[in-house]
Amino acid sequence: MIDAIAQQPMLAALFALVSLGIVFGGLLGFAAEKFKLKGDPIIEQIDNLLPQTQCGQCGFPGCRPYAQSIADGDAINKCPPGGQATINAIANLLDVPAPALDEEHGEEEEIKTIAYIREDECIGCTKCIQACPVDAILGAAKLMHTVIVSECTGCDLCVEPCPVDCIDMLPVIQGIVQWHWPSPASNIDLIATSKMPRREDAA
Amino acid sequence: MSRIWEIPGGVHPPENKQQSMTRSIGHLPLPATLVIPLHQHIGAPAKVAVTVGQTVLKGQKLTDASNLNNLPVHASSSGTVIAIDDKPVAHPSGLNALCVTIATDGKDQWIEHAGISDFRQCDPHNLLQMITEAGIAGMGGAGFPAAIKLSPSNDKPVDTFIINATECEPYITADDAAMQEKTQDLIQGIEIVGHILNNPSRVLVGIENNKPQAIVALRSHIKERSIEVVSFPTKYPSGGEKQLIYILTGREVPSGGLPSDLGMVCLNIGTLIAIKRAIIDGEPLISRITTVTGEACGVNRNYDVLIGTPISHLLAHNEFDERNCSRLIMGGPMMGFSLTSTEVPVVKTTNCILASSYSEIPSDLPAQACIRCGLCAEVCPASLLPQQLFWYAQAKDQERLEAHNLFDCIECGACSYVCPSNIPLVQHYRSSKGEIRKANIDKIDSDNARQRFEFRKLRLEQADEQRQVKREARRLATEQARATNSTVQSGSSAADIIAAAQQRAMTKQSTPEQQKAKFERALLAAQSRLEEAENRLTEATAHGTAEQQARCSASLESARQKVDQTQNRLKELSD
């Protein structure tokens, strides 16, 4: 047998290649099974960039389903709470051009707002508690409810179900602790001499 | 003489220190009101412990419980608390913050206080407690609580104690004046801190050679002691903590690290004098030395100012010319910030009030395009690449900014100072730092929100599942019951079923005695109802409307029927 193969170079080559193919094919097949990725990593990455308000303004029930949908080719500009910053980040990740925010889904807010319950008007119906996607409302049936401010994402979902309209979306207080230096105004378009003191004034 | 190292970069702006050094440290008359902000340090503010209308004495604590993170503030003079509200404070934002306003009574009456005569007999832990109680925060500019710096860390004992006497920023001479006039206090402060730090092997005073009188004063006082005064050539910003440590020891504080990682502690002159007063005299931090300077002020001088003194009071006693003032700066010209109001008070970190004239500090020229001259990179004391950082700051590319070590920037402003295109580089870095910090906080919040959302989803799913299981169990149970019933029914004749029903009825029926008692009870109840109805009817006929009368008579009728019925039943039973 070996002699026969040795005397037929064509056969020998064929045999060698086929056996190599089988070995490596098997190896690849094994690796594909063994190191299989659970879930789509790109969904995870997109989900990480979304603001996690879980507000549903994009039309999906939560941020993760929208991330899934983006991974499947949906538009990336449907997230008003994230605004342009989020769109840019996702565009950067997916290497696609960054469109402007789709106004159909809502407008980007300058200042983050948070829900406040006017507690003396609350009738304790628990409807807002059921609506809150992040369990940030505390209360029980026929007892007053209140919002845990530090957990509220400002998603707005509790406002509509309230039968007595006692929930306000109020802007977060911008105190000294939250303040940071603003970006210096770019006045590169100005002609330098227009702001310079005139020579006779300086003299 | 120990060796000194040279920091990279640096600039030599005009010093302008001589103006305010022509006179000794002055004292101002007591201001009519003192505005004391509650938050004057890095960390959380403490809670107010006084009420409006309360009389306070000089040195009285205005806040409650104090610990390392929330330092107390004290009344700088005796008087009455007239307001506790939001007022403009010394902060670049120009925002208001909670302040206690005291109307002074002019008596300047101290609260009872006592120091320790021999601190060497005292446990360092107690001394640290006293420093915290005195509300001492770093007085060089950042306001980091001094007791935190001095608290021992377990992993790294402190072997080098550095006294920052550099005062490298132009115009400021508060530390220089303090070193010349309060040398004895300073030395005592150094000794106290040395004791707290368990006598570190090296005690170095780092001082620039533009303060010869202070150097002489210090050297003459510490001849016999183990404190070394190291003078080095003047260059801005040698006074940065990390820069000074490098100059004196040749060691670099790691990126994101603290001097304590190298076994070093660095304190400012003002802080040390405050520590001496807290321990030896028992006085809290209620005053500090502040330079009032600039061409818009007729008098340039250092003052021992009470914390909470409005800037307007300082300026009023220094022939301040408002028309000639281009800007009012708290701090120096390089790192200070412009004030929007003269009503802001002096705080623990106010080392200088600079009222500059238009010729001294003209208004900012418009920024032009970067010409990539590279001067900024040459002067950067942290060896960063300001130009690259500038591009990334404009592009808001936070990842690259962090990769280029934006957070190692000490915001000294040397790059902005040399920029030929007048680009406000350091402002870009400050704003980028703020944005990155905010983004990091937002990231933590959003991760938290995701976790809560996912947990809620899981909980709802589990509840749903349980409900499903219960429903299924119920369905099975009914099916089974139906099945057994049908087998019973099919297995027995009609006669059996009737017999079983009769059996059930028999067991339900009670004895005649019980039945009689039951009917008697019912009769009694019915009679009382009848009586009540009669009463109501008489009342209704007397006062009520026709409708009420009709209703009452109807109920009377039904009550009467009920009584008759019950009586009949009872009769039947007895028969």
Task: Identify the bridge partners of residue A114 per DSSP, sorted by sequence position.
Answer: A170
What pLDDT, on the 0 to 100 scale, is given for residue A203?
38
**Which 3 state secondary structure label does DSSP give B106?**
coil
Per-residue confidence (pLDDT) for residue B473, from 0 to 100: 94
Cβ contact B95–A135 (<8 Å): no
Q: How many CB atoms are closer than 10 A to CB B187? A: 18
Distance set, CA B172 to CA A192, B14, B19, B111, B336 (Å): 31, 12, 10, 32, 11
Q: Is residue A196 part of a domain?
A: no
C-beta separation of B63 from B48 below 8 A: yes
* B301/B313 Cα distance (integer angstroms): 14
How many Cβ contacts (< 8 angstroms) between chains A and B?
Answer: 92
Chain B: give the shortest CA distance to residue A40, in Å: 18
pLDDT, residue B570, reads 81
Q: Where are the beta strands (DSSP E) in B217-263?
A: 227-232
Which two structure tokens, joined as six digits, stand for A148?
A: 């845990």
Q: Whole domain around residue A155: which residue ranges?
A: 113-171
How far is the alpha carbon of B226 from chain A, nearest alpha carbon, in Å? 42
Taking CA–CA distances from B41, the nearest residue in chain A reads A177
Torsion of CA A84, A87, A91, A93, to 10 degrees: 120
- Å between A189 CA and nearest CA of chain B: 8
Whether residues A72 and A120 fall in one domain: no
The answer to whether B62 and B73 have CB atoms below 8 angstroms apart is: yes
Closest chain B residue to A182, measured at CA: B431
Among candidate residues A180, A139, A117, the one with its CA nearest the CA of residue B95: A180
Flag whether A166 is marked binding.
no
SS3 sequence, chain A?
CHHHHHHCHHHHHHHHHHHHHHHHHHHHHHHHHHCCCCCCHHHHHHHHHCCCCCCCCCCCCCHHHHHHHHHCCCCCCCCCCCHHHHHHHHHHHHCCCCCCCCHHHCCCCCCCEEEEECHHHCCCCCHHHHHCCCCCEECCCCCCCEECHHHCCCCCCCCCCCCCCCEEEEECCCCCCCCCCCCCCCCCCCCHHHHCCCHHHHC
Look at strands B79-88 and B202-208 and give their pairing: unpaired
Q: Residues A44, A63: contact at Cβ < 8 Å?
A: no
- Is CATH 1.10.1060 what the domain over B366-509 is classified as, yes or no? yes
Residues 6 or more apart whose CB falls under 8 angstroms from that of A169 comprise: A113, A114, A115, A116, A154, A156, A159
Instruction: Say if the Cβ atoms of B365 and A62 lie within 8 Å.
Output: no
- The architecture in CATH of the region B19-357 reads 3-Layer(aba) Sandwich (3.40)
Residues of B with CB under 8 A from a CB of A: 39, 89, 91-93, 95, 97, 358-359, 362-363, 365-369, 393-394, 424, 427-428, 430-435, 437-438, 442, 445-450, 452-453, 455-457
Residues A46 and A21 in one domain: no
**Cα–Cα distance for residue pair B268/B205, rounded to 1 Å:** 10
Residue B409 C-alpha, separation from nearest chain A C-alpha, in angstroms: 15
Q: Which residues of A touch B (CB under 8 A)?
A: 47, 50-54, 62-64, 133-136, 151, 153, 174-176, 179-184, 186-188, 190-192, 194-197, 202
Residues from chain A that touch B432, judged by Cβ atoms under 8 A, are: 183
What does each C-alpha distance from A43 to A33, A59, A97, B269, B443 come to in angstroms?
Answer: 21, 17, 19, 55, 17
Instruction: Judge whether B352 is annotated as a binding position.
Output: no
Is-cis flag, bond preceding B237, omega within 30? yes
- Sign, CA dihedral B458-B460-B461-B466, equals positive
Closest by alpha carbon to A166, among A124, A135, A112?
A124
Of all residues in chain A, the one with the smallest CA distance to B448 is A151
B325 labelled binding-site residue: no
Contacts of A191 (CB under 8 A, 6+ apart): B366
Question: What are the residue ranges spanned by the domains of chain B?
Answer: 19-357, 366-509, 510-574
Residues A121 and A95 in one domain: no
Q: Which residues of B touch A133 (CB under 8 A)?
A: 453, 456
The contacts of residue B352 (CB under 8 Å, 6+ apart) are B169, B171, B172, B174, B290, B291, B292, B293, B329, B330, B331, B332, B336
Residues 6+ apart with CB under 8 A from B456: A133, A134, A135
List CB contacts of A126: < 8 A, sequence separation 6 or more.
A139, A140, A141, A145
Burial annotation B15-30 (CB, 10 A radius, 16+ → b, else e): bbbebbbeeebbebeb
Residues A96 and A127 in one domain: no
| Sign of CA pseudo-dihedral A144, A149, A150, A153 | positive
Rounded Cα–Cα distance for residues B508 and B341 (Å) = 93
Handedness of CA B481, B487, B493, B494 (dihedral sign): positive
Whether residues A176 and B366 touch (CB distance < 8 A) is answered with no
- Residue A78 counted as domain residue: yes
Do A136 and A83 fall within a single domain?
no
What 8-state DSSP symbol labels residue B169? S
3-state secondary structure at position B233: coil
A77 part of a folded domain: yes
How many angstroms away from the CA of A158 is the closest CA of chain B? Answer: 15
User: Longest Cα pair distance anywhere in chain B, in angstroms?
Assistant: 131
Task: Quote the pLDDT of residue A199.
Answer: 47
Residues paired with residue B291 on neighbouring β-strands, in sequence order:
B302, B352
Please give the pLDDT value at position A201.
Answer: 46
Is residue A20 domain-shared with residue A75, that is, in the same domain?
A: no
**Chain B residue whose CA is closest to A64:** B450
- Residues of chain A whose pLDDT is less than 50? 198-203
Q: How many independent structural domains does chain A possess?
A: 3
Contacts of B89 in chain A (CB under 8 A): 176
- Tell me which DSSP letter residue B205 carries: E
Q: Which of A44, A47, A134 to probe the B interface (max B CBs under 10 A)?
A: A134
DSSP H/E element including B97: strand B96-104
Which of B100, B149, B89, B129 lies closest to B339, judged by CA?
A: B89
Residues of chain B with confidence (pLDDT) below 50: none
Structure tokens given for A159: 């406002």
B357, B326 contact by CB (below 8 A): yes
3-state secondary structure B498-510: HHHHHHHHHHHCC
Contact residues for B425 (Cβ-Cβ < 8 A; gap 6+): B376, B386, B389, B390, B415, B416, B419
Cα–Cα distance, A127 to B275 (Å, whole number): 58
| CA atoms A148, A150, A151, A154: torsion sign | positive
According to DSSP, the residues that pair with A146 across neighbouring strands are: A138
CB B115 within 8 A of CB B12: no
The burial class, CB within 10 Å (0-12 / 13-18 / 19+), for B537 is: buried
B464 phi, psi to nearest 5 deg: -60, -45
- Tokens linked to B316: 């009023």
